[in-house]
Structures are given as structure tokens and as C-alpha cells.
Amino acid sequence: MSEAPTGEAIRLEPLVARVLAANPSPFTYTGTQTYLVGSTDLAVIDPGPDLPDHLDALRTAIAGRPVRAILCTHTHRDHSPASRPLQAVTGAPIIGCAPLTIDDDGPRADAAFDRDYAPDRVLADGDTVAGEGWTLEAIATPGHTSNHLCFALQESGALFTGDHIMGWSTSVVAPPDGDMGAYMASLDKLLGREDRVFYPAHGPEVTTPRRLVRGMMGHRRQREGQILRLLDQRVGAIPDMVARMYVGLDPRLTGAAGRSVLAHLIDLGNRGLVRAEGEIWTRAA
């Protein structure tokens, strides 16, 4: 993908255009990519951060056409906050993932959680939203977050992958809401599909979807193997694991790496392979 300037609508195929938000960071790469699906009427996927320039760019790209749905893959602050001002402008319903709640019994969201997200309609796996010449199907893909959805464009074989699959890096899986076991199951679910192309929220489009999914699953298994070998060497503290597993890592990403290691350890614990004693992890007896 040649990097597009922020705020410019780039036509990717007859029914899909992309607008890049100006929110680059070590976690978002060049920024969040909002997708417009349709021609005479539209769906907007992942409206992005609530930035005035990005909202202006979306209004320009919409060009007065009716917006049938504002769809959110998940509720991180770089994906869903612009849904509210965009709804105020277009009148479109906010549709997609369920809101997360923070309580003692449910999932606890991380610091990137959009606490104000309030959908008009929550989609379950297999539910559809349609307009003139386009149909989007919700594909439940928990893991990166417990409420994550991808959206399949039935007319073209494109899958909008949010942060479940990114075009530049692996996805962060951060407990307590992120779940490595669920993430791996969701990757396996995508292997059973025949999508032609992935359009992620960050990074370039993926034209070899199944190859990338297999590679990501292999990468996670490799990380799991590293963790088990470190435990065999009596390296049981997460910061020490991160230092050995992520040599040369940008210091700004150290915390996220630690959360991913924790996600692996929790998954291994659920499978009876490891256990925790305070902040030290060991092989299960």
C-alpha cells in the first residue's frame, strides 16, 4: 500500500473507500483507517477517533449520500468515539459490537476503552446490515477484545478485520478483556473462510489472507514455546520474560508486550500447563 495522506478518500474497489485518520502512534501505525462501503448509500466502518479534521474528511467523502449504518468493530478509543459526532451529522444508527461493562462479574476493560460507546443495535455472529448493492455480515472474533467483530462484504469477498488482523503487526491481546485462547480460536475461524482480501484498521490491505492467518497462528505458538522454555529455565517473572523475548523492542511497547505474555500465561494456565505463585509463574506439577 502506498501511504495515503490523512484525510483523503482512497478508492480500493468499486464498493470500498478508505480514509486515514491523523492519529499515528506506536500502537496505531500510520493511524486508524475508516472504511466507507457502498456507492449510492453507505456504511461507515470504524469511524475512528473523535478528531475534527477526521470528521471533516469523512463528511467530504460521504458527499451528502445517505449513511445507513455506522459500524464499530470494537470499542477502543481509536475506533469508536467518532461514531457519536458522525451520527449527529448523518442521523445514521450506530451498529456493531456490544458495549463493554466494567463490574466485578464481567470483563474489565483496559485503558483504551471507549466508555461512552452506546450502540443503537448490537450485532451477533452472522447478523447482516445491507444497503443498495452491499451486504455486510458480522463475524464474531473475540480475543483482541471480548466484543470484537469483523465485517464481511458479501458482494466482493472482502473482510474488514479491525484490530483482529492488522497489516503491519500482530494484534495486542491484553487481559483482562483480551483473551489469547479466544484470539487463537478466532484466527482458526478465519482459516475456515474464503475471504479474498483483508482490510485492517491499521496497515496495508492483505491480499493473501489465509497465509497471513497461518503465519500469525505460528507466531503465537512460537511465543508460547518461548515462554515454556523460559519457565524451564526458572525465568518466571513477566518483566524478565519480556526482556528476553522482545530484544530491541521500542520501550513504549514494553507494557503491551507484558500484557501479551500475561495473556499467553493465562491461556497456558487454563490448559493446566503453568501456574502462578504471586507474580512468579512456573510449570504446573
pLDDT at position 39: 96
Instruction: Output the 3-class SS for the chain.
Output: CCCCCCCCCEEEECCEEEEECCCCECCCECCCEEEEEECCCEEEECCCCCCHHHHHHHHHHHCCCCEEEEEECCCECCCCCCHHHHHHHHCCCEEECCCCCCCCCCCCCCCCECCCCCCCEECCCCCEEEECCEEEEEEECCCCCCCCEEEEECCCCEEEEECCCCCCCCCCCCCCCCCHHHHHHHHHHHHCCCCCEEEECCCCCECCHHHHHHHHHHHHHHHHHHHHHHHHCCCCEHHHHHHHHCCCCCHHHHHHHHHHHHHHHHHHHHCCCEEEECCEEEECC
- Reported as a pLDDT band with limits 50, 70 and 90, residue 111 is low
135 and 252 inside one domain: no
The answer to whether residue 3 is domain-embedded is no
pLDDT at 162 over 80: yes
Question: For residue 221, which phi and psi values (nearest 5 degrees)?
Answer: -65, -35
262 and 197 inside one domain: no
The answer to whether residue 213 is domain-embedded is no
- Reported as a pLDDT band with limits 50, 70 and 90, residue 223 is very high
224 and 124 inside one domain: no
129 and 268 inside one domain: no
137 and 55 inside one domain: yes
Q: What is the pLDDT of residues 13-35, one digit of tens each?
A: 999 999 999 998 887 888 999 99
The answer to whether residue 182 is domain-embedded is yes
Distance separating alpha carbons of residues 185 and 92, to the nearest angstrom: 33
Distance separating alpha carbons of residues 272 and 83, to the nearest angstrom: 42
Single-letter code of the amino acid located at 116: D
Picking from 114-118, 196-200, 268-272, which range would have the lowest pLDDT averaged per residue? Answer: 114-118
β-strand pairing of 121-122 with 134-140? unpaired
How many domains in the chain? 2
pLDDT at 105 over 80: no
The answer to whether residue 1 is domain-embedded is no
Q: Final residue of a domain: which of 173, 207, 241? A: 207
Length reported for the chain: 285
140 lies in which domain range?
A: 10-207
155 and 33 inside one domain: yes
pLDDT at 103 over 60: no
